[in-house]
Amino acid sequence: MPTAIPFDLAFGNPAVRPDKGLGYQACQNAHSDVVPEGSVGAGTGATIGKLFSVLQATKGGLGYAAATLGVILANARLDKADAQKLAQLGQNALARVIAPVHTLYDGDIIFALSVRQVEAGLMQVGIVAQEMLQEAIFRAVKAADGLGRLPAWRDLQ
């Protein structure tokens, strides 16, 4: 899955590559406090609007949104086929807020996980997932910092 990660190496150290150790460290650092957004973690190198030229790009970031039944990472009891459908439904959020979406080398992909805690209808979970993912995308862009290299949404307001 070569496009499942941001590959914008103009930010940070391009020699740094995630590995098992960094994944383990991220799990150790996880907490239930406020989730950081913007130019943090995977959002550090995220950029948007590069279709016609990097010169027209702006800064993207990492965003988070949640609702009761916690979706995309859902607490609903979903089997593998339901989780796949949930990820497909989440793609609708990308199509609502990203244009163009699903080009050859971008990271427009959704993963869905279930911790199988509560009974819930797949369509209800899918609708909430779409709304939350759309909100997370907006929050990621609005919270991003251009880090002195690209204009960010907040710089253009």
pTM given for the model: 0.71
How does pLDDT run along the chain (157 residues), one tens digit per residue? 455 666 666 666 777 777 888 889 888 888 778 888 888 877 888 888 887 787 888 888 888 877 647 447 888 899 999 999 999 999 999 999 988 888 877 778 888 888 888 999 999 999 999 999 999 999 999 999 998 888 999 999 8
Give how far Cα 52 sits from Cα of 23, 56, 140, Å: 34, 7, 22
Its CATH class, for the domain covering 20-156, is alpha beta
